[in-house]
Amino acid sequence: MRTIKVGSRQSALALTQTGYVIQDLRDICEREGLAFDFEVHKIVTKGDLILDVTLSKVGGKGLFVKEIEQAMLDRTIDMAVHSMKDMPSELPEGLINGAVPRRADPRDALVSREGLTLDQLPEGARVGTSSLRRSSQLKAYRPDLQLESIRGNIDSRLRKLETEGLDAIILAAAGLYRMGWQDRITEYLSEAACLPAVGQGALGIECREDDEELLHLLSLYNDPATASPVMAERRFLSVLNGGCQVPIGAHAVWVPGQDADSLNGENKLQLTGMVGSPDGGLILKETLSGKDPARLGEEVAWRLIDRGAEQILAEVRG
């Protein structure tokens, strides 16, 4: 029996997500009569070590995955479970995204100390977030809010809501659900207020592209209904040369095909993409529909580039 070595960050959320994936893969092995076992290898990433600086100031891509990917290339581990929003749009040579399981809720969630929604927060309320994407959109939606940078794992950020005098914090809804803390959610933010990060709510199962045995197992775990929207979002990100520390958001959903280009009314993908200035003074959004995920992502990205998205991102990168 082959033992698959699974790389994971050390945070409670990362280990919980990895545990869910391993259990799902065990179930598939039992159903299909495949002989695999699994063991978890904890790996510390650069993003885990730098907690006193905002992600946008750290610079670089793959802050939460690079060390894990190197371990795969070195064959210390065989696969890794990532939050898709942490994965760079381009993977290192020799590695592949072997599966995208069913997506959890992609929305951002407001956790408020007094149970107030985003619209109900008082003028000048202090709101914590680790994301330039969120702060850009929230400054546009509520210019009066005081946005403050908070870093750390999901549990430490929840503690900071109480210990640092914040009125609210913004977290990914999927992470709260996976930890069983969904009762802390005050409000799910609408896309009008805060478009999610690329791949938010989805997991990426990365492995070596020459590991045919493992790739076969992962193919049984892949969810095409999730993989196609995520592909559109990630292609959008790739064209913009973005990462998780720049003000870029995107969300693709399946919609009924109703126009002349639709074949027999089959479903199409609808992708909304966003690039915002850090001060919230300019938020660019485009929404298009199409059947080819990669092409759709490219088209939305180029629409935004034509409207000045590259200049915004160049200023962010310095």
| CA nearest neighbour of 14 among 73, 75, 70, 85 | 85
Q: Give the list of residues 6+ apart from residue 287 with CB closer than 8 angstroms, or none.
A: 270, 271, 272, 273, 300
What is the Cα–Cα distance from 24 to 296, expressed in whole angstroms?
31
Contact of 82 with 204, CB cutoff 8 Å: yes
The reply to whether 86 belongs to the active site is yes
Strand 108-112's sheet: what is its strand order?
Answer: 146-149, 126-129, 168-172, 108-112, 187-188
Other beta carbons less than 10 A from residue 74's beta carbon:
8
CB 141 within 8 A of CB 194: yes
Distance CA 76, CA 69 (A): 10
Q: Which of 24, 27, 48, 86 does the annotation list as catalytic?
A: 86
The tokens for 43 are 């790996």
Which residues belong to the active site? Answer: 86
